[in-house]
Amino acid sequence: MTKKAKKGKITINRERCKGCHICIETCPNIMIDVDETPNKKGYSPARFKENIPEGEKGCIACKQCATVCPEVAIEVYRAQ
């Protein structure tokens, strides 16, 4: 039996974010999008989606977004 993926969530430090959007392309479950409101540096930061898109799994705490972020702006939390 395969282990069920744990659910998770992330926080994104929007002021640290440089708006490269690599995390958006990396997330396998389409849980990150663009916040069109610019941060203080003028970048449009990444934003964690509040709602899980239809047919998607939601965040599984895989940490891929945090791993690729060059600004170390993402923290991943795992739901127990």
Binding site for ligand SF4 (CB under 6 A): 8, 10, 12, 17-23, 26-27, 29, 31-32, 45-46, 59-65, 68-71, 73-74, 76
Select 1 or 62, whichever has its Cβ closest to ligand SF4.
62
Q: Given phi > 0 = left and psi -120 to 50 = alpha, else beta, which region is 60?
A: alpha
User: Which tokens is 11 given?
Assistant: 């926080």
The least distance separating ligand SF4 from the CB of residue 19, rounded to whole angstroms, comes to 5
- Residue owning tokens 């744990």: 6
- CB-nearer residue toward ligand SF4: 12 or 40: 12
The one-letter amino acid at 27: C
Minimal distance, residue 1 CB to ligand SF4, in Å: 22
Alpha-carbon Rg for the chain, nearest whole angstrom, is 13
